[in-house]
A = this chain, B = another copy of it.
Amino acid sequence: MPRAVAGPEIERLIQLLARLPGLGPRSARRAALHLVRRRADLMEPLTSALRDALDKIVLCRTCGNIDTRDPCTVCADPTRDRSMLIVVESVADLWALERAGAAPGRYHVLGGTLSPLDGIGPDDLNIANLVKRAHEPEVKELVLALNATVDGQTTAHYITDLMRDTEVKVTRLAHGVPVGGELDYLDEGTLSAAIRSRTPF
């Protein structure tokens, strides 16, 4: 067993940093050293940023977004198209769509996808609340922005079935060639979908 090289406080910091995604034991050690070296301009601000975030972060009770206010920045934004709900699997996906600045509506975060193999059913997701929101008179369209995986598509079908007896239109993201993508590197499913959904030039 390797000897502890520093006091228990530093070892504990390294262990916790190693649990962040993208950092392993070695890079956590480097990160800890980096923090200690940049005490004033990184370690102190990071500590207080974490403290601030801990004090203020809440889950938006409307859509499930993570923010420092409830309702969140997106739900409270008066310029959003209130007739469109964009259904995403996770807050990470919501943030990705927001970074693209592409989505005019508000969101609904499911908190995962249906996954019978992992024992994740409708009650484990934020679906009951979605149905309730979809029945609000102002909502005209659900955009299913789910991953193009088996679980994502299973969830999309399940939600579509739930909406069958309503007036709400259910749409999904287009399949096709990624912008900047090279055809040679794309799978056949994507290429077939791109041909089927070809658009006038």
The copy count of this chain in the complex is 2
Q: Does A200 contact B (CB under 8 A)?
A: no
> If the complex has contacts A10-B57, A17-B46, A52-B9, are A22 and B33 also in contact, measured as CB distance less than 8 A?
no
A179 shortest CB reach to chain B, Å: 16
Q: Does A73 contact B (CB under 8 A)?
A: yes
Chain B contacts for A36, CB-based, 8 A? 53, 57, 66, 91
Number of residues from A at the complex interface, CB < 8 A: 60
- Contact segment of A94-102, A162-170, A186-194: A94-102
Chain B contacts for A8, CB-based, 8 A? 68
**Chain A interface (Cβ < 8 Å from any Cβ of B):** 2-10, 12-13, 16-17, 19-23, 27, 29-36, 38-39, 42-47, 49-54, 56-57, 65-69, 72-74, 90-92, 94-95, 98-101
